[in-house]
Amino acid sequence: MTQYKESIHLFLAAILAGYAILGLFLLVPAILPLGPLFTLLVIIVAILIVLFALAIILKALAKLFKFGKY
């Protein structure tokens, strides 16, 4: 059980990253009609958020499955 206590912050970050990705699905379509330059900026920021969120989620899943092998 102490193995999970060390990674609790990583697991919580993965949950928040998942919510960030879900929030993008709601936020980006509402912002897109504001203009072409702003649309390009929003798309770039959304891609960066998704990449970092997926990295956090995959890191947490890898650690979780590594603990499950014991």
The whole domain housing 29 covers 2-65
Residues in CB range of 14: below 8 A, 6 or more apart = 56, 57, 59, 60, 61
Q: Which of 15, 19, 27, 22 is nearest to 56 (CA)?
A: 15
Residue 60, domain member (yes or no): yes
**How far, in Å, CA of 23 to CA of 26, rounded?**
5
Residue 70, domain member (yes or no): no
Q: Domain tally for the chain?
A: 1
Q: What is the pLDDT of residues 18-63, one digit of tens each?
A: 888 888 888 878 877 878 888 888 888 888 989 999 999 898 888 8
pTM, entire model: 0.72
